[in-house]
Amino acid sequence: MVEPLGLTALAIQVISGLWMAWLYRPGFRGLFHPANPIGMLAIAFVVVGALIRLGGWS
């Protein structure tokens, strides 16, 4: 079951992750390119956080 607190935490995680990415890559140029380790880390962070908070990975 999805909880409002969990969705709020996920939203905060995504927003703060995008803000951090903006600090490292203004304009998000090349952020999601496979050769960029920061972009891959950000994607993994969001995916794992979403899976945990949405109950897909316990």
Would the pTM of this model clear 0.85, i.e. be above it? no
Q: Which of 36, 47, 55 is CA-nearest to residue 14? A: 47
Instruction: For residue range 7-19, list pLDDT tens digits in order.
Output: 788 788 888 877 8
Average pLDDT, integer, range 16-35: 76
pLDDT at position 1: 57
Q: Which of 11, 1, 2, 4 is CA-nearest to residue 46? A: 11
How far is residue 3's CA from residue 21's CA, in Å, rounded to a whole number? 27
Domain boundaries, the chain: 4-53
CB atoms within 10 A of CB 42: 20
Per the listing, tokens 């999805």 go with: 2
